[in-house]
Amino acid sequence: MRNSGNDSANPNPSEIDVARRLRRSLSRAALVSAAVCILSTCASAPSSGALCPYRGMEAARAAPTDEELKVVDSSKQLIGMAPNAKALVKGKQFTLDCIGTVCAIYYRLGIDLAKDFDEYPGNGVNRLYLSLKDKGVIHYDRYPRPGDIVFWDNTYDANGDGDRTDDPHTHAGIVLAVDDDGTIRYVHENLYKGVIIETMNLLRPTVAFDDSGKRLNSGMAIATVSGGPKPERNLAGDVFDSFGDALKVKGDFEAAELDAKLALIR
Ligand SMILES: [Ca+2]
């Protein structure tokens, strides 16, 4: 008994080595287990591949590219501006409503997202959605990339019929970052607060806060202008429609022609 106790308190070098290897092994097992828990918290949760069928999980979780970081930097220059404020970006004035904010952020990179708006019907959000859909870059990955456009449905009663479930493509924003737990940080024009960063989690779309108090999903769908209640589905993840990978088709939206015209008058 005593020897056993002494041995335990003063293990020899080989035993220390074994113990270290065991701890490392257990740590790796814990990490793998944690990753599995994140990606599939229950038997019915989708597999890793199903979470990011557009890009694949490895590409979705890679470090941001320089171009993606430029979108993030451009976004930061508008954060804090009031709802519907005016912003001059590369010589062009934008009204910072929801689609104006998205277009202004991209315009700083020489990308004119409104370039094909004349070809499509509806509001600006719908026109951008259709522009990107026609180019094959709409997707539904739960782990999007910085720079992806976010489209939401039913954020307000756009057609004014009192039904809060029949209004597609009513709001848009841009992904800035994605946490390991799937919480997406996006920039958008909040109708009341202006250009701000809020959160959405497509793994837990109906949960506002997790057990630690972390905000997973911001409020998104608003009460009616006439004072009616918020719809039952009002969190960002719960009214999510899709993402648009605008950077993949940036060549189709080049603002070079406009820039050249502006250069002539400067
Ligand atoms: Ca409606």
Q: How far is the CA of 160 from the centre of ligand 1 (A)?
A: 5
Q: How far is the CA of 203 from the centre of ligand 1 (A)?
A: 27
Whole-angstrom distance, CA of residue 123 vs CA of residue 114: 11
pLDDT of residue 71: 98
CATH number of the domain to which 166 belongs: 3.90.1720.10
Contact call for residues 240 and 127 (beta carbons, < 8 A): no
Q: How far is the CA of 162 from the centre of ligand 1 (A)?
A: 5
- Residue at 89 is within a domain: yes
Do both 165 and 200 map to the same domain?
yes
Do both 80 and 208 map to the same domain?
yes
Whole-angstrom distance, CA of residue 218 vs CA of residue 253: 31
Do both 108 and 157 map to the same domain?
yes
Do both 76 and 14 map to the same domain?
no
**Running DSSP on this structure, what letter comes out for residue 169?**
S
- Residue at 46 is within a domain: no
Do both 15 and 100 map to the same domain?
no
Whole-angstrom distance, CA of residue 168 vs CA of residue 156: 10
| Burial (Cβ within 10 Å: 0-12, 13-18, ≥19) of residue 89 | middle
Domain count, the chain: 2
Q: Which residue has the tokens 């109708």?
A: 191
Q: How far is the CA of 233 from the centre of ligand 1 (A)?
A: 13
Do both 192 and 75 map to the same domain?
yes
Q: How far is the CA of 156 from the centre of ligand 1 (A)?
A: 7
More confident position, 251 or 24: 251
Contact call for residues 224 and 156 (beta carbons, < 8 A): yes
Q: How far is the CA of 231 from the centre of ligand 1 (A)?
A: 11
19 confidence band (pLDDT: 50, 70, 90)? very low
pLDDT of residue 20: 46
Whole-angstrom distance, CA of residue 118 vs CA of residue 37: 46
- Residue at 45 is within a domain: no
The predicted-structure confidence for 42-84, as pLDDT tens digits, reads as follows: 456 667 779 999 999 999 999 999 999 999 999 999 999 999 9
Encoding tokens for residue 222? 């608003």
More confident position, 257 or 211: 211
- Residue at 228 is within a domain: yes
Q: How far is the CA of 35 from the centre of ligand 1 (A)?
A: 40
Q: How far is the CA of 223 from the centre of ligand 1 (A)?
A: 12
Whole-angstrom distance, CA of residue 224 vs CA of residue 230: 7
Residue whose C-alpha is closest to residue 189's, from 200, 174, 176: 174
Encoding tokens for residue 187? 């920039």
Do both 25 and 155 map to the same domain?
no
Q: How far is the CA of 120 from the centre of ligand 1 (A)?
A: 20
Predicted structure pTM score: 0.80
Of 86-95, 177-186, 219-228, least confident by mean pLDDT is 219-228
Encoding tokens for residue 198? 């809020």
Q: How far is the CA of 40 from the centre of ligand 1 (A)?
A: 35
Q: How far is the CA of 158 from the centre of ligand 1 (A)?
A: 6
**Running DSSP on this structure, what letter comes out for residue 65?**
P
Do both 18 and 122 map to the same domain?
no
- Residue at 47 is within a domain: no
Give the residue-averaged pLDDT of 198-221.
97
Q: How far is the CA of 188 from the centre of ligand 1 (A)?
A: 22
- Residue at 191 is within a domain: yes
* Domain interval for residue 93: 56-265
